[in-house]
Amino acid sequence: MISPQPWFHKDENPTTPTRTSSSTTTAGIPPLSIYVIRDDDLGDDAAVTEGLNMTFIPSIQSIHEFVAWSRTMFSGTISPQSVPGNSSTTANDQHKDSSSAPTTTRVLSHFRAIQQAYLDGSDMVIISTNQSMFVNSNNPSTRAFRWSELSRQIDVAPFGWEALLLDIDNYQVQKHLQALTQDPWISWFTDYGSASAYVLSRNGMKQICTMIMKLISNHTTAFQPFHEWTDETTIFKNLHNVYVSRWSRSQKGLLPSPVNFLRPESILVLMSLRIDNQQDFQMELTRLKEDYHAICQYHPVCDWELNVVLTHSDLLAQWNQTMEEKTNNIGIRYHVTVTADRFNKFTFVSRFVPRMANYDRLLLKDADQRLRGFPWLSFLERSVDATITGPLREVRDESKVQFHGPNTVTYPLHHAAFWRQSSSLSSFFTTIRPLSVPFIEMYLVLIPGDFAHWFFSQTLTSHFINQSLDWGPDFQWCAAARDYRSHHPGCFLVPVVSTHEDTKQIRKSDDYVTEGIQIIDRFRENATFSRWLASGRDHWNKIIKESDLKDIKKKCRATFGMKNFDLQDCANQASQVGYSYQESTREYPRSIYSGSAVAPNIYFEFHTKLPKLGDSLTLVVSQPTLLTKISRVCTSIPPDRLGRRESSQMRGTIGI
C-alpha cells in the first residue's frame, strides 16, 4: 500500500480554456465571428451587421458540390478524374445525390461553414442559419442573444469544450433547461437534437474537418457516409465535449450573470478507479481533474479520496512517475493497490466511516459517471428535502436505449431517456421534479455525512467488506434513511442527468449473481437489515427491474391493487412495506412453534402488513435465522391470490 499523496497544482484554473480574450476590439467588435448559412447569395461574404462580424456562407446544393469544394479548399488542386459528378460517376451515384438533397445537403452546408471558418484561422466561431439571432444591444425585449451576455456565458463553459449549443431545438429539453436555476451549461446527448446556433472551438473545428477529409479520401464516387447524414446531430457526434446552454431566445431579458455560486456544504468524495493499461493513465487523470473542478469550485471544503486499483504490478512504476509530475495538491488524495481480482468498493469506503460525520455531504461516485457538464447546483437544490439523492444517467450516443426485451438495461427507470420517452414521466423531467423512491443505485449518490456515519457503521461489517462484491447497502439505505429522519423522504431520484461513460470496469463472472444473493441473505440474518431490504430489494426492485413503463404499471396494480396508476403513489406504497422484529417478552405455548429455542422463553416476533389488503400478520420464530426464509415467503405471495376471507383467517399469531 502506498501512502496517500497529493497531486495537481492548486493555482491551476482549468475551468477557463485557453482562448483569445473575449474583450472587445476596436469598434466594439469581439474577436468571435459569426458564420451564417444562407440559401440566397447576398454577394458580400464579410458583411458587418449591427456591429457584429458576420460571414455569409451559401448553402450546399448537392453532395458532389460539397466534396468538390472540400477537395479544392483543402488540397488546392484536384484532377478531373477525381471530381465527383464527372463522367466516372455512375448514374446510381447521381440518383442518390439528388434523392438525399433535402436533408443531407442542409447538414453539408453546416460542414462547409465549419471548414471555411477553420481555413480562415478562427479560434472560436458561431455557426447559424439565422443572422437575426444576434444583436449588439441590451434591449430586453429583443428575442436574440445579446453579445456581451453570450461572451460571459462562453467564459464559464466547461473546460475543454469543443461545441456549445445555443437555443436547442427540442422543446422538451428546452423546458428542462429552463428549470435549471443556476447551472449555465449541461452535457449534450444525441436525442437532444441540434440547435439554432452553436459555438465551436478551434479544436472542435479541426476534429470535424479531419473527419470529413478522411471520409472523402476513403470514398471516391458513392460517398455513402454523406447520404446517411440526415440531421445536424451528425456534427456533434464526432466531438467528445459538447454542451447545451440553459438559455434560449424564447426567454426575454438578460442572461443571469455567471457568478461563482459558493455553497456552504463541505463535501467528501469517495470513488474507486480500476486501471488496466498505461494508455488509461492520462485519460483518467484528465477526467478526474475536470470532475474535481466541476463541483469543488463551489465548496470551500471539498476533499476527494481516490482508490486506485492497478491490475498488475508493472503499472505501479508508471503510476508513481506520473504522480511525481503532479507536485502540488488541489484536494484529491490517492490510495493505490495492485490486484487483478474483483474488489468491493465499500472496503475502501469503510476506511472513512469515522470521518464522514465531519462533512455535510458524502458523494459516492463511480469512475465512469461524469460531473463535468452535470447540473450540480440544481441537483443540490433539489436534494434538500430528502436524506439521500441520486440523479439519472445516460450514455451520450445511446439515448435510444432498449427498455424492453432481452437486451434491456437493468433499471430503465434510472436512465434519462426513459423519462423523456414516457408520457407519465415527461413532466417530471421538464420541471425537474424529484421522485421519492425506496431504492436508488450506487453509481452517483449524495448522502448527509451524519447519516452516512450512522448507516455505514452498522452495515459495513467485517464479513461484508471482506467479500468481493458490493451488493447490499444500496438496497437498504433508503429505508434506513426513513428511520433516521422519519419526517423526510428517504431517497429522491432527481431527473437531472450525469453522463455515463460506461467503461465496464466491473468484472462479472458466472457466479456473480449467485454470490450477490448470498451476500443479501447474510444481511437478512440481521433483523434490522432484513426490514430495510424489504421495500428496496423485495418490492421496488422487483417492480422496476428490466421493466418498461407498461410493465411497471402492471406490477404496481398487481402488487398494491392500484386502479389508477400513479408512479409516485406506487413508490410510496413500496416504501411503506416493511417488517419489524422485536424480542418477545411473552411466553408462548410450545404448541405454536416448532424447532428449538435459542434460549428458554426467548422468541422473535415478525410483523408484516400485506400490501394490498392492509391486514397484519404476526409470526413467532424461535431462531433469528428463520427470518430470512419467512421474509422470502411473505414477499413472494401474490396479494391478488389472497381474498378477504382467507386473509382474515391469517390474523393472529402463528408459530414456526
Q: How far apart are CA 230 and CA 629, in angstroms?
A: 57
pLDDT surpasses 50 at 269: yes
- Segment 481-485 long-range contacts (CB within 8 Å, at least 24 positions apart): 481/386, 481/387, 481/388, 481/451, 481/455, 482/387, 482/575, 483/532, 484/387, 484/451, 484/454, 484/455, 485/387, 485/451
Q: Considering the chain, what percentage of its residues have pLDDT values greater than 70? A: 66
Split at pLDDT 50, 70, 90, the class of 70 is confident
Q: Which of 258, 252, 241, 244 is nearest to 172 (CA)?
A: 244
DSSP state of 254: P
- Cβ atoms of 605 and 620 closer than 8 Å: yes
Greatest mean pLDDT range, 270-279, 412-421, 475-484: 475-484
H or E stretch at 132: none
Higher pLDDT, 44 or 135: 135
The predicted model gives 621-628 an average pLDDT of 45
Q: Which of 537, 516, 493, 240 is nearest to 389 (CA)?
A: 493
Q: Which of 415, 470, 404, 414 is nearest to 437 (CA)?
A: 414
Higher pLDDT, 143 or 563: 563
pLDDT surpasses 60 at 494: yes
Q: Which residue has the cell 451559401?
A: 58
Higher pLDDT, 103 or 556: 556
189 is written with which cell numbers? Answer: 446527448
159 is written with which cell numbers? Answer: 473546460
Q: How far apart are CA 642 and CA 7, in angstroms?
A: 62
Split at pLDDT 50, 70, 90, the class of 1 is very low
pLDDT surpasses 50 at 244: yes
Split at pLDDT 50, 70, 90, the class of 224 is low
415 is written with which cell numbers? Answer: 436512465
612 is written with which cell numbers? Answer: 394490498
Cα Rg, the chain, nearest whole Å: 29
pLDDT surpasses 60 at 259: no
Q: Considering the chain, what percentage of its residues have pLDDT values greater than 90? A: 28
| Cα 29 from chain centre | 38
Query: Could you report the per-residue pLDDT of 313-359, keeping only the tens digit for each?
Result: 888 888 887 776 654 456 788 899 998 888 899 999 999 999 999 99
CB atoms within 10 A of CB 599: 7
- Cβ atoms of 150 and 136 closer than 8 Å: no
Which amino acid makes up residue 558? A
Q: Is the dihedral angle over the CA atoms 15, 20, 26, 29 positive or is it negative?
A: negative
Q: How far apart are CA 379 and CA 391, in angstroms?
A: 8
The structural domains of the chain, ordered by start, are 32-245 (no CATH), 267-468+489-510 (3.90.550), 578-655 (no CATH)
3-state secondary structure 259-275: CCCCCCCCEEEEEEEEE
Q: Where are the beta strands (DSSP E) in 253-346?
A: 267-275, 302-310, 332-338
DSSP state of 591: G
Mean of per-residue pLDDT scores for the chain: 74
